[in-house]
A and B are shown apart, each in its own frame.
Chain A
Amino acid sequence: MINPYLPYPVRIDQIITETEDRNLKTFKFVFLNPEDEPRFAYHPGQFAELSIAGKGEIPIGIASSPTEQGFIKFTVNKVGLVSSFLHNMNEGEIMGVRGPLGNWYPLEEMEGKNIVIVAGGFAFTTLRSTIIYLLEPKNRSRFNDITVVYGARSPGMLLYKDELAAWEARDDIKMHITVDGTDDPDWKYNVGFVPAITEKKAPGAKDAYALVCGPPIMIKFTQPVLEKLGFPAERIIMSLENRMKCGIGMCGRCSVGQEFVCKDGPVFTLAKLNSLPKEY
């Protein structure tokens, strides 16, 4: 019997400091046992428990894409005991990854449709996975227009800056990068909050799905904008976070009504969330 609590051993292959406040780092892991990599087959939007022996586990969205082989990547915000310990670990050290866990963005359902990605701050990670997946040549033709609105507090707080620049240069993805504010005279992208930029750029809702990830305040003000643009709640897709332990729907703490964020989520349509208590 497969033990769903047993992490796969991994080696930290690379650590990248993403943001100017040094609170966000991307960890690239390589499986110690190569046969574990195919067992970890995942979809954009899923998460995993990062496991550090003696410290515990944290549920983190998978930032790499299934189209990237040989490693998995996670971007971790330094907030608690485990994430702070992880931030002080070094390349080459051994830890564990347990997953993949949860459901994923309904990309099959979105084939042939336009996709609007709206993201704020460090919630961009599983959307980075999604964008990499969508832009893969064998996948790109299966989807129509791709529009991304991504914002952070300042230019230095944006994740994956090299990739953002590369996507900006492409003509098969429409990027709207924005910051809340900046004193950088060379800043060439937008200035303004994500909801305002979304309203201004007004991506069409016809045949379109919106994937929305961000801090609660961004989501609160983005929802009415999307509704105004004509997105029905069934085509607004969101990803939730809650405190988790087991990640497989058993320990009880991440429940929102009868749904477990870890197993029935983390991806929910706004229509589904509207039917549930707001306990997230």
Chain B
Amino acid sequence: MIARTIAKSVFSEWLSLLRKSFRLIGPVRQGDQINFAPLAEGEGPDLSFQNTRLSPKEWVQPASERLFQFSLDPANTEAHILKEVPWDETPRLLLGVRPCDARALNLVRINFETPEYTDPWWKHGRDTMTLIGLGCNQPCSTCFCTSVGSGPFDPVGLDILLTDLGSAFLAQAATEKGAALLQGVPQGTEPSASDQSQAETLKKEAEQALPPQVAVDRLKDQPLLPLFNAPFWDEVQFACINCGTCTYLCPTCWCFDIQDEVSGTEGLRMRNWDSCMYPLFTLHGSGHNPRDQKLQRVRQRFMHKLKYYVDKYGNGVACVGCGRCVQFCPVNIDIRRVCNLMNAFQAN
């Protein structure tokens, strides 16, 4: 795979070129946060963040998305019949994605592209997206990607990985698509030996800043029901207020709701992010609720990511170590600690 060194002075020229083929989405400042948003003509990405507040998952699976449209007008011969909302075919380029968030899209793909069914909207959202990632020179104190099978410069899931060398970016292709894009970089140069050794040093330093914090090696072999009934869940859930912030921020939380919305005689079938933290998520029509207790909902979130997903797909944990839920949980519930409790649990 090819690589290029791109001086920061000419980086915006490359973006202008990319803009001809893609709608650019990149990190921009929004108040005290940096989040992904469409980059207006002439607007560059703000790459000064450690990580964005929101993960970029909304650009593949929007928080609210139109699926079908319909008419309820009796005069319409197709009334009550659902039609797909027209697809937006514009290729999009997500710039400045952290490796953890790119990996998350790979983990989530298993849910939406299965042997039996393919979710057409998720697949479309992912397939029309090109990812240019940005390695993490300075990981956050809450990051633990190296503990869950990834790393601060992991190119998996990305098309191109950028390493910030100070006055230039080292851009390394990770896919054929990425390689083709790098061929077209104006004034890009073959990386020098010193560029490469600098990138290597940055990677090593970042990895050293991420000592192993979380053990996941025993999760697969933990017997399910004893772990489900483990006494520590009561203590883990105690402070939780079921606010759902963790699921909202998590790049691997994909659960959704489907709701119809009607205005006059026109309507839409929408899908919206949902959360296992809320009792309504599982409430039966009869009033029965299999997860009506907070403990059950908190346990579901951790068990899904760290046990059910592991068992179902044999693909490791559904956590990429981005640390957002650790940073923003209002009551300081820490998935690193819960994972260690689960991993170390001894069934009697």
Contact = CB atoms under 8 A, between A and B. Distances in A.
B110 to A, nearest CB: 11
Given A6-B68, A248-B117, A56 B258 contact: yes
A241 B284 contact: yes
B282 A242 contact: yes
A275 B227 CA distance: 12
Contacts of A246: 256, 258
Contacts of B282: 242-243, 253-254, 279
Contacts of B281: 243, 253
A213 to B, nearest CB: 15
A242 B284 contact: yes
Given A257-B224, A263-B116, A54 B260 contact: yes
Contacts of B114: 249
A249 B81 contact: no
Interface string A236-280: 000001110110111111111110000100000000000111111
Q: Which range contains the number of B residues in contact with the other chain? A: 35 or more
B291 A3 contact: no
A1 B225 contact: no
Interface string B68-81: 10101000000111
B111 interface: yes
Contact of B291 (A57, A79, A279): A279
A275 B82 contact: no
A34 interface: no
Given A1-B120, A5-B67, A248-B116, A53 B311 contact: no
Nearest to B267: A54
B228 A277 contact: yes
A253 B274 contact: yes
B285 A79 contact: yes
A254 B284 CA distance: 10
Contact of B260 (A32, A56, A255, A280): A56
A205 B304 CA distance: 37
A95 B117 contact: no
Interface string A34-53: 00000000000000000111
A93 B68 CA distance: 20
Contacts of B257: 245, 251
A53 B262 CA distance: 9
Contacts of A7: 82
Contacts of A256: 290
Given A241-B284, A242-B282, A279-B296, A251 B255 contact: yes
Contacts of B260: 53-56
A250 B70 contact: no
Given A53-B72, A279-B290, A257 B284 contact: no
Given A6-B84, A94-B81, A249-B117, A258 B256 contact: no
B112 interface: yes
B134 interface: no
Nearest to A1: B120
A272 to B, nearest CB: 12
Nearest to B70: A53
A176 B307 CA distance: 44
Which of B258, B283, B311 is most buried by chain A, counting CB atoms within 10 A of its CB?
A: B258
Contacts of B255: 251-253
A7 B274 CA distance: 22
Contacts of B312: 258
Interface string B115-152: 01111100000000000000000000000000000000
Contacts of A243: 281-285
Nearest to A82: B285
B194 interface: no
Interface string B11-29: 0000000000000000000
A134 interface: no
A251 B274 contact: yes
Contacts of B67: 5
B298 interface: no
Contacts of B72: 53-54
B187 interface: no
A101 to B, nearest CB: 10
A9 interface: yes
A80 interface: yes
B50 interface: no
A65 interface: no
A125 interface: no
Contacts of B286: 79
Nearest to B223: A275
Interface of A: 1, 3-7, 9, 32, 51-58, 77, 79-80, 83, 93-96, 216, 241-243, 245-246, 248-258, 263, 275-280
22 contacts: A6-B84, A7-B82, A32-B81, A53-B70, A56-B259, A57-B258, A93-B80, A94-B80, A96-B80, A96-B81, A96-B82, A241-B284, A243-B281, A248-B116, A248-B117, A249-B111, A250-B112, A250-B254, A252-B256, A253-B274, A256-B290, A279-B282
Given A243-B285, A245-B258, A279-B296, 17 more contacts: A1-B118, A9-B80, A9-B81, A54-B70, A54-B262, A55-B260, A56-B259, A57-B258, A83-B285, A96-B80, A96-B81, A249-B111, A250-B111, A253-B276, A275-B224, A279-B282, A280-B290
